[in-house]
């Protein structure tokens, strides 16, 4: 079997909910696969191979275009919850029963809603450059794949995603209550100078999620995982490979007093 | 040569500034050694072997009692700066010209002052359960070594350390300005529920240090490195083994726009 990479993985298609989802799947099989959720107006091609190939070294990674994005058919929904429902339909359609979910920026909102809606499907979360309901999101672009690129996103994508972002980001009473129901072990990661979704949102996320690690990189912005790709791959791999966060922790330090 | 461990390393002595410093040195030689700075009223024996032996696996670790503590002679100074000057004298006395410095709680204050005073001596910092000037510190105890234990600290230790803590923690104008001069790559790490030195101090530290990573562990308090010792050893080892933080980072993401 050919071991594909970010550059060579063929674009495949699967149908669910009347949507034809485009995706690419590569890396080492055996562990729980990691599904990537893209940022505002981004497509599969906007992931950085330093990160995807780095993580594919010891697990399968799955990139996909959610509904209405680029090579996938359907419409971009105007709520984050519907985007999460579409992501779920896609994951079920390719026959996966347990998944780790990585989300960057807008994709981090989708990842949170997916974890909330599907606690059994989603094992672990990696939330990059993102925030809780009440945070705000915009675009950041990273383009590296040159051959067989995804079509650019249509003009309908931006407005629908913006509407979804705005709804999700609207201030409300007790805005962080929802996050206490996200019980999956979570890694929250950002740069210390994110001016798209302010870095402090990562701190707020960590403080309100029941079981989250936080990692902040120095001198780094919204796409900090691309500024320190080797470091990030090591941190993310360590996190994904941990047996169980609660089990790892000592409930009480032996001999402490 | 016998490879010593936390349990077996003999207590050695070295003299500097008229002080006889007690210390233990063990682990794998070759890299920059890591010097541990203890918390309020703690001695060498209060370090957790899961952490010291874990880090000693691929580097030398050095535990010591600062002046006036337990097996070391001299008086406990009543300023953090003097404690740092004593730590520096100790490090020079054992012939080390470059060192990584780990500090826990009060030891984290000392580590910061040492890094400020000795930018060439100190290569990297690990700051655990600590904060910037303006933070506040207290005791947390972890006792595991049973044989050849350090004598308990004298009654003079607490008051002097408290005075030093208070001076260092006093609110002042632009309290975090000092930290911008700490240019060493730094790892700031804490639990998300530190009620001794509030966790948010770690966030503040990261935001004000020029080159700091922040890691926060879930469901963890002041001694989070003892709650997740394997995880911490992996994170600390990765940090200490990185070539150079600036070099690791991409100044600009290739192909980004």
Whose structure tokens read 């399968």?
Answer: A60
Q: Is the pTM higher than 0.95?
A: no
Q: CA B97, CA B240: separation in Å to the nearest integer? A: 17
For position A197, what pLDDT does the model report? Answer: 80
CB A184 within 8 A of CB A124: yes
Whose structure tokens read 């990696």?
Answer: A126
Can you give the length of chain A in residues?
257
The SS3 of residue B92 is helix
Q: Is the pLDDT of residue A245 over 60?
A: no
Q: CA A108, CA A97: separation in Å to the nearest integer? A: 20
For position A177, what pLDDT does the model report? Answer: 84
Angle at the Cα of A145 (from A143 to A148), degrees rounded to 5? 125
Q: CA B166, CA B126: separation in Å to the nearest integer? A: 22
For position B141, what pLDDT does the model report? Answer: 33
- Please state the rounded mean pLDDT for residues A245-253: 44
Angle at the Cα of B53 (from B116 to B105), degrees rounded to 5? 40
Inter-axis angle of helices B49-56 and B229-241, to 10 degrees?
Answer: 30
A217's enclosing H/E stretch is strand A212-217
- Closest C-alpha to B111, from B52, B170, B182, B176: B182
- Closest C-alpha to A24, from A75, A70, A80, A77: A70
For position B40, what pLDDT does the model report? Answer: 82
Q: Tell me the shortest Cα–Cα distance from B252 to chain A, in angstroms.
A: 7
pLDDT digits (tens, 9 = 90+) for A60-99: 999 999 999 999 999 999 899 999 999 999 999 999 999 9
- Please state the rounded mean pLDDT for residues A122-134: 85
For position B220, what pLDDT does the model report? Answer: 93
Least confident stretch, A13-17, A44-48, B157-161? B157-161
Q: Tell me the shortest Cα–Cα distance from B106 to chain A, in angstroms.
A: 18
Q: What values do phi and psi take at B122, rounded to 5?
A: -95, 120
Q: CA B71, CA A155: separation in Å to the nearest integer? A: 72
Name the token pair of A19.
Answer: 């949507």
Residue B20: Cβ within 10 Å count: 14
Torsional class of B59: left (φ above 0), alpha (ψ -120 to 50), beta (otherwise):
beta
Chain B environment of A248 (Cβ under 8 Å): 228, 230-231
- Closest C-alpha to A31, from A56, A12, A48, A6: A56
pLDDT digits (tens, 9 = 90+) for B83-96: 999 999 999 999 99
For position A14, what pLDDT does the model report? Answer: 98
Chain A environment of B253 (Cβ under 8 Å): 48, 142, 223, 226-227
Q: Do A256 and B141 touch (CB under 8 A)?
A: yes
For position B243, what pLDDT does the model report? Answer: 77
Calculate Rg over the CA atoms of chain B. 17
Q: CA B131, CA B133: separation in Å to the nearest integer? A: 7
Alpha-carbon distances, residue B68 vs A171, B152, B157, B161, B174 (angstroms): 54, 11, 7, 10, 32
Strands (E), B105-248: 122-128, 186-191, 212-217
Mutate: best of A195, A256, A257, partner B, most B CBs <10 A: A256
Residue A96: Cβ within 10 Å count: 16
Confidence of residue A140 (pLDDT cuts 50, 70, 90): very low
Residues 6 or more apart from B113 whose CB is under 8 A from it? B80, B81, B83, B84
Confidence of residue A244 (pLDDT cuts 50, 70, 90): low
Name the token pair of A164.
Answer: 């979804």
CB A13 within 8 A of CB A22: yes
For position A257, what pLDDT does the model report? Answer: 30
For position B256, what pLDDT does the model report? Answer: 33
Residues 6 or more apart from B155 whose CB is under 8 A from it? none
CA end-to-end span of chain B, whole Å?
56
A208 against A174, higher pLDDT: A208
Mutate: best of A194, A213, A215, A247, partner B, most B CBs <10 A: A213
Closest-approach residue (CA) in chain B for A209? B218
Q: CA A33, CA A142: separation in Å to the nearest integer? A: 23
- Closest C-alpha to A243, from B225, B230, B58: B230
Q: Is the pLDDT of residue A205 over 70?
A: yes
Confidence of residue A176 (pLDDT cuts 50, 70, 90): confident
Closest-approach residue (CA) in chain A for B203? A203
For position B252, what pLDDT does the model report? Answer: 39
- Closest C-alpha to A107, from A46, A166, A50, A40: A40
For position B2, what pLDDT does the model report? Answer: 59
Chain A environment of B247 (Cβ under 8 Å): none
% of chain A exceeding 70 in pLDDT: 87
For position B37, what pLDDT does the model report? Answer: 96
For position B257, what pLDDT does the model report? Answer: 30
Q: What values do phi and psi take at A196, rounded to 5?
A: -90, -60
**Predicted-complex ipTM score:** 0.80
Residue in A142, A209, A217 nearest the CB of B253: A142
Residues 6 or more apart from A247 whose CB is under 8 A from it? none
- Please state the rounded mean pLDDT for residues A211-236: 93
For position A145, what pLDDT does the model report? Answer: 56
For position A255, what pLDDT does the model report? Answer: 34
Low-confidence residues in chain B, pLDDT < 50: 135-142, 144, 245-257
Residue in A213, A220, A238 nearest the CB of B249: A220
Mutate: best of B41, B190, B216, partner A, most A CBs <10 A: B216
Torsional class of B123: left (φ above 0), alpha (ψ -120 to 50), beta (otherwise):
alpha
């Amino acid at each position: 079997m050919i071991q594909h990479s970010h550059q060579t993985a063929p674009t495949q298609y699967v149908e669910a909910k009347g949507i034809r989802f485009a995706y690419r799947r590569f890396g080492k099989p055996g562990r729980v696969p990691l599904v990537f959720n893209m940022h505002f107006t981004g497509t599969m091609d906007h992931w950085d191979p330093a990160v995807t190939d780095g993580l594919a070294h010891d697990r399968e990674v799955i990139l996909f275009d959610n509904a209405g994005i680029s090579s996938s058919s359907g419409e971009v929904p105007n709520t984050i919850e519907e985007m999460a429902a579409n992501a779920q339909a896609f994951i079920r359609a390719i026959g996966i029963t347990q998944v780790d979910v990585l989300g960057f920026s807008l994709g981090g909102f989708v990842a949170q809603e997916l974890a909330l809606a599907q606690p059994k499907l989603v094992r672990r979360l990696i939330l990059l450059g993102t925030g809780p309901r009440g945070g705000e999101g915009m675009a950041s672009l990273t383009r590296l794949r040159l051959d067989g690129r995804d079509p650019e996103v249509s003009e309908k994508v931006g407005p629908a995603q913006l509407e979804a972002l705005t709804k999700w980001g609207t201030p409300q009473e007790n805005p962080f209550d929802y996050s206490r129901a996200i019980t999956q072990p979570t890694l929250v990661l950002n740069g210390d100078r994110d001016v798209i979704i302010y870095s402090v949102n990562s701190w707020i996320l960590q403080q309100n999620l029941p079981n989250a690690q936080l990692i902040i990189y120095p001198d780094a912005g919204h796409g900090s995982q691309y500024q320190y790709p080797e470091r990030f791959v090591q941190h993310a791999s360590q996190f994904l490979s941990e047996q169980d966060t609660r089990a790892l922790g000592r409930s009480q330090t032996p001999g402490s007093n």
